[in-house]
Amino acid sequence: MSAVFIPLQIGAPQIILIVVIVLLLFGGRKIPELMRGLGSGIKEFKDASKDDAPANNTEEDKKRL
């Protein structure tokens, strides 16, 4: 059972390997663009999830009235 979880353990050597592979695939110039895109996507997701919560509450309140 514990042999199943061994590949899921990520340590420093695995992280370094992932970083090297990403550098080789995308190059040094594309990585800032990728990170900016990732950051803006996360920001949009957070904003959408915050905006969605009050909208659901007002709809429920309207149904109760």
**pLDDT at position 26:** 83
- C-alpha distances (whole Å) from 30 to each of 23, 45, 50 are 9, 23, 31
Residue bearing tokens 């007002």? 58
SS3 27: helix
**pLDDT at position 2:** 57
Segments of the chain scoring below 70 in pLDDT = 1-8, 52-65
Contacts of 26 (CB under 8 A, 6+ apart): 34
pTM of the model: 0.47
**pLDDT at position 51:** 77
Cβ atoms of 32 and 39 closer than 8 Å? no
DSSP state of 1: -
**pLDDT at position 63:** 61
